[in-house]
């Protein structure tokens, strides 16, 4: 079982996940570190991206992109509501501080995804976005918030900061490789936040399992309950994006490998 995540194919910035786990914990629980980190890659932006020229997209490509961004928006909405709820049930102040920074990150992601949808000329209202999004991710959001509302700290943190963040990290990374310049720039900046959230989740779940190994069976059950939803979402993303090099199955394997680092495969 590992105690920190990796940074394969991650965009630049602090190599937070490659450092000693204790040092990682110290840094991510600091508002000062969070502010310094995000200030370095968010300054001087417009709607979450650099001032780049819009690439001409045909109607079908634009529709597919809007649909994909709508699904991403739902994922960020789930993360925003989930992390804000986790602040309330977190077992200590340090966790609450980290999650407060994550709330701010997720709110920004929600804002820039909506802005990108609007830039593409689509209806960016909540209702329109949810109609276009993958139904499977709406189901994941509902189940995540059920865990939060039930006060299931470890299970909810696992579902959000390991499962959901792994799903976003894998999908955004694959999409960024083939995206238009503006969408690529936006996703790469979002990814810098996502790997910090994922690193926190992997570190804390690993520590929780060392302290209470019996929790592993329960987390495996949570994973089994949600895996089908996650894999269905990957297939939806691959279809919408027409990913040439990365199929939904490839995305799913990358996600399962991330979760397996915690010894929770199967």
pTM: 0.83
Residues 164-188: tens digit of each pLDDT: 998 898 899 989 999 999 999 999 9
In the numeric block, which tokens belong to residue 85? 């709820």
- 7 within a domain of the structure (yes/no): no
Mean per-residue pLDDT of the chain: 83
State the pLDDT confidence band at 252, using cuts at 50, 70 and 90. Answer: confident
- 63 within a domain of the structure (yes/no): yes
How many domains would you assign to the chain? 1
Check residue 10 and give its pLDDT.
Answer: 35
- 12 within a domain of the structure (yes/no): no
In terms of residue numbers, what domain contains 71?
A: 19-36+55-260
State the pLDDT confidence band at 17, using cuts at 50, 70 and 90. Answer: very low
Identify the three-state secondary structure at position 123.
coil
Check residue 26 and give its pLDDT.
Answer: 60
Residues 38-53: tens digit of each pLDDT: 665 566 667 777 777 7
- 107 within a domain of the structure (yes/no): yes
Q: Identify whether the C-beta of residue 110 lies closer than 8 Å to the C-beta of residue 73.
A: yes
- 266 within a domain of the structure (yes/no): no
Helix ranges (H only) for the chain are 21-28, 31-42, 59-89, 93-119, 126-132, 135-149, 153-157, 165-176, 181-211, 215-241, 248-260
- 254 within a domain of the structure (yes/no): yes
Residues 140-160: tens digit of each pLDDT: 999 999 999 999 999 999 999
CATH number at residue 105: 1.10.620.20
- 45 within a domain of the structure (yes/no): no
């Amino acid at each position: 079982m590992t105690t920190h995540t990796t940074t394969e194919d991650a965009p630049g910035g602090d190599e937070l996940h490659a450092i000693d786990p204790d040092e990682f914990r110290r840094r991510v629980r600091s508002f000062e570190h969070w502010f310094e980190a995000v200030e370095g890659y968010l300054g001087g932006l417009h709607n979450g991206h650099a001032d780049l020229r819009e690439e001409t997209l045909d109607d079908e490509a634009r529709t597919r992109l809007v649909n994909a961004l709508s699904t991403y928006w739902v994922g960020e909405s789930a993360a925003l509501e989930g992390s804000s709820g986790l602040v309330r049930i977190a077992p200590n102040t340090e966790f609450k501080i980290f999650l407060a920074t994550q709330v701010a990150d997720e709110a920004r992601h929600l804002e820039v995804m909506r802005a990108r949808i609007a830039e593409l000329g689509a209806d960016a209202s909540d209702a329109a976005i949810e109609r276009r999004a993958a139904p499977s991710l709406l189901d994941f959001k509902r189940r995540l918030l059920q865990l939060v509302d039930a006060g299931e700290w470890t299970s909810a943190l696992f579902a959000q900061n390991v499962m959901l963040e792994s799903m976003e990290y894998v999908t955004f990374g694959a999409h960024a490789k083939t995206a238009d310049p503006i969408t690529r720039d936006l996703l790469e900046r979002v990814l810098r936040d996502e790997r910090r959230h994922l690193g926190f989740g992997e570190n804390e779940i690993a520590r929780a399992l060392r302290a209470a190994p019996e929790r592993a069976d329960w987390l495996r059950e949570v994973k089994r309950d949600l895996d089908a939803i996650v894999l269905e979402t990957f297939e939806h993303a691959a279809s919408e994006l027409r990913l040439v090099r990365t199929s939904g199955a490839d995305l799913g394997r990358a996600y399962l490998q991330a979760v397996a680092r915690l010894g929770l495969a199967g």
